[in-house]
């Protein structure tokens, strides 16, 4: 028996094939999001070295501005990598995203300080974030589509939840490793060299993710038909030209959700430190525990959506944050336990969105434009609202109007809630997969 036949037999096994697909997507997604969010968790340590200013708050504001700049490339990545996915296949696109992320991480490892090279230091920081932003912009779309297209009948919600389950694992690792280094090393060591080590870990793990993804089973058979000239190649803006309503729905779904996600799962340690005087190491520890809880309940949310539908989950999420964002933020104090329980409540509400959004958005578009149709509108909205959330919050604090950020997040959440209420249920939609239906 030849090696090729043996490989085909292995891939023909439904269980082995599903495990292979889930593992490849999840591991790559873990690496992608670990790399992306390590920056946010460690910015308080390298801010003064790369963007020196009159005070630490101003330096931190500068690093969050660069964080937002990285989001500028997310729509570009969503569009370009989405088009690559819809033309050449999901596996090709996923391999590209993780390769680019590894390059961006390596740049952070060797990033010189402002004292060493002057203005070149913040310039290189921006370049690194642009590379990572391009990669992450395509990652969410192609991995989400890949998971949903790999799903068994009646389990698209469960498979969809694996997207945030794996990205949460990456975020959990980023938070956990940042907390570990922060607690094991002195502050002087963290400021000197310790903050670089988590980025090094990310660069090395990108190699494993690259190897695993290169061996996945392609879900998009239409790519071969396009290559052979038996199917028309999708053009860059076909998703918007033929599906404008669906594209706007993605935007509406994401506006409030992305601000809530980045506020409660990424920026909260810095927000608590700045507004309530919480110890940074304690904030990171509380966030890590809450993220572990958040990760565990993702599959539960996905299974629940396969039973009761996507819309009820989204509506509960939207109403919950519309009513509770301001009260929860106002309850933050210096206590570790206060930060922990507030974070866990927020994570429970967030699951109503994160467990189902990949499925809902994928169910809106036909296979030929699915990745670009999901990727570009989603990434553009995340760039405009999610990427700027830490900057907006820090700017409000710096201006002496701390409470205004909660109302800003509430207003955006209200917009998304109205979209959820007006949406149709997509749970029972027949999903077109590469010219077929599933």
Taking 70 as the threshold, does the pLDDT of residue 433 lie above it?
A: no
For 370-415, how does the pLDDT look when each residue is reduced to its tens digit (9 = 90+)? 999 988 999 889 888 887 787 788 788 777 777 788 899 999 999 9
Q: How many CB atoms lie within 10 A of CB 112?
A: 14
Question: What are the CA-CA distances from residue 127 to residues 89, 132, 174 (Å)?
Answer: 28, 9, 21
Look at residue 12 in the predicted model and tell me its pLDDT: 45
CA angle 52, 102, 88 (to 5 degrees): 130
What are residue 361's phi and psi, to 5 degrees?
-65, -40
Contact indicator for 144, 157 with CB cutoff of 8 Å: no
Question: Would the pLDDT of 335 be above 90?
Answer: no
Q: At what angle do helices 14-50 and 268-276 cross, to 10 degrees?
A: 30
Each residue of 255-307: pLDDT tens digit?
Answer: 999 999 888 877 777 777 777 777 777 877 888 888 889 999 999 999 999 99
| Whole-Å CA distances, 134 to 98, 302, 380, 405 | 11, 28, 11, 28
Cα dihedral sign for 263, 267, 268, 270?
A: negative
Domains of the chain: 19-217+239-426 (1.20.1250.20)
The pLDDT-based confidence of 319 (bands split at 50, 70, 90) is very high
- 266-275 pLDDT per residue, tens: 777 777 777 7
* Model confidence, pTM: 0.79
């Amino acid at each position: 028996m030849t090696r090729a036949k043996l490989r085909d037999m292995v891939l023909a096994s439904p269980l082995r094939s599903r495990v292979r697909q889930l593992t490849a997507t999840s591991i790559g997604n873990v690496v992608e999001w670990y790399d992306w969010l390590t920056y946010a968790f460690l910015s308080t340590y390298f801010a003064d070295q790369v963007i020196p200013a009159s005070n630490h708050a101003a330096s931190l504001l500068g690093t969050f501005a660069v964080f937002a700049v990285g989001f500028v490339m997310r729509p570009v990545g969503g569009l370009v990598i989405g088009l690559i996915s819809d033309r050449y296949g999901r596996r090709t696109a996923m391999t590209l995203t993780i390769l680019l992320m590894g390059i961006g991480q390596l740049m952070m490892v060797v990033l010189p300080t402002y004292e060493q090279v002057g203005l070149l230091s913040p310039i290189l920081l921006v370049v690194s974030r642009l590379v990572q932003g391009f990669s992450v912009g395509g990652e969410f779309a192609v991995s989400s589509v890949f998971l949903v297209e790999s799903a068994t009948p009646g389990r698209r919600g469960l498979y969809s939840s694996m997207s945030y389950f794996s990205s949460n694992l990456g975020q959990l690792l980023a938070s956990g490793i940042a907390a570990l280094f922060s607690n094991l090393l002195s502050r002087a060591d963290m400021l000197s060299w310790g903050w670089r080590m988590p980025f090094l870990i990310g660069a090395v793990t990108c190699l494993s993710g690259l190897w695993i993804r290169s061996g996945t089973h392609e879900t998009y058979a239409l790519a071969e038909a396009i290559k052979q000239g038996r199917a028309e190649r999708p053009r860059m803006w076909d998703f918007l030209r033929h599906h404008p309503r669906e594209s706007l729905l993605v935007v509406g779904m994401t506006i409030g959700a992305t601000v809530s996600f980045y506020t409660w799962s990424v920026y909260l340690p810095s927000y608590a430190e700045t507004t309530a005087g919480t110890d940074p190491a304690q904030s990171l520890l509380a966030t890590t525990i809450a993220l572990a809880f958040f990760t565990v309940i993702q599959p539960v949310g996905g299974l629940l959506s396969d039973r009761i539908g996507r819309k009820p989950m989204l509506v509960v999420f939207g109403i919950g944050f519309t009513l509770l964002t301001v009260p929860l933020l106002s309850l933050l104090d210096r206590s570790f336990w206060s930060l922990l329980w507030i974070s866990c409540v927020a994570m429970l509400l967030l699951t109503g969105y994160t467990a189902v959004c990949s499925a809902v958005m994928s169910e809106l578009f036909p296979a030929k434009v699915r990745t670009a149709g999901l990727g570009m509108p989603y990434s553009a909205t995340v760039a405009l609202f999610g990427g700027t959330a830490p900057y907006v919050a820090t700017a409000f604090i710096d201006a002496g109007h701390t409470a205004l950020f909660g109302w800003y997040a509430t207003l955006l959440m209200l917009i998304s809630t109205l979209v959820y209420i007006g949406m149709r249920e997509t749970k029972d939609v027949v999903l077109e997969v590469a010219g077929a239906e599933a």
